[in-house]
Structure 1
Amino acid sequence: MKNPIQMIKQCIEKDEPYFVLRGQDICALAAIETYYKEVRQKVKNPYFIEEIEEIMKDFKAYREEVSKTKIPD
């Protein structure tokens, strides 16, 4: 999996917008599930699809473990 800090630094250097989701964000899992559906339809790289699936699983596990999400910061 790519280093998210490095990715953000690259975006800042290029003046490119970026978007961050946190596990505690009540909307994050739904956003990732929707993104995952789009990736499955439009991306051919199986490694990238697998990466997004792992991220989605991590968010689901976090939600089950913590069971406390909130409005995004």
Structure 2
Amino acid sequence: MKDQKKLLIKCLKDEIPAFVICGTDICSVRTMEQYYEYAKEAGCNEDFLEDLLLYIEDFKQFQKEEPEKIKLPD
């Protein structure tokens, strides 16, 4: 999960469906927290789970620092 941009570009190039969650999305943190639980139950490796937790914390921090930018996705 270390290079999300690279992963997205690969998906687009290879026509693989991808889903992007933006930090301004009011639903993003809860969505990522639920995904973390699914990933943990599925047996994803610890590095992946640790990276995901770091992303979740980044989103929380962004939303705390920039509350005026948080909105419903459109």
Give the TM-score category using the shorter length: 0.7 to 0.9
Q: Which residue of 2 aligns with 1:6?
A: 6
Q: What percent identity do the matched residue pairs reach?
A: 32
Q: Which residue of 2 aligns with 1:62?
A: 62
- Unmatched runs of 5 consecutive residues or more in structure 1: none
> How many angstroms does 1:2 deviate by?
2.3
Which residue type is aligned with residue 22 of structure 1?
A: C
How many equivalent residue pairs? 73
Give the CA RMSD over aligned residues: 1.3
Q: Which residue of 1 aligns with 2:38?
A: 38
> How many angstroms does 1:43 deviate by?
2.3
What TM-score do the two structures reach when normalised by structure 1? 0.87
Q: Which residue of 2 aligns with 1:71?
A: 72
Q: Which runs of 4+ in 1 moved over 4 A?
A: none
In structure 1, what is the Cα distance between the partners aligned to 2:47 and 2:60? 20
In structure 2, what is the Cα distance between the partners aligned to 1:43 and 1:59? 24
CA contact (8 A) 2:2 2:51 kept: no
Q: Which deviates more from structure 2 when the two are superposed, residues 54-63 or residues 38-47?
A: 38-47
> How many angstroms does 1:40 deviate by?
1.6
What TM-score do the two structures reach when normalised by structure 2? 0.86
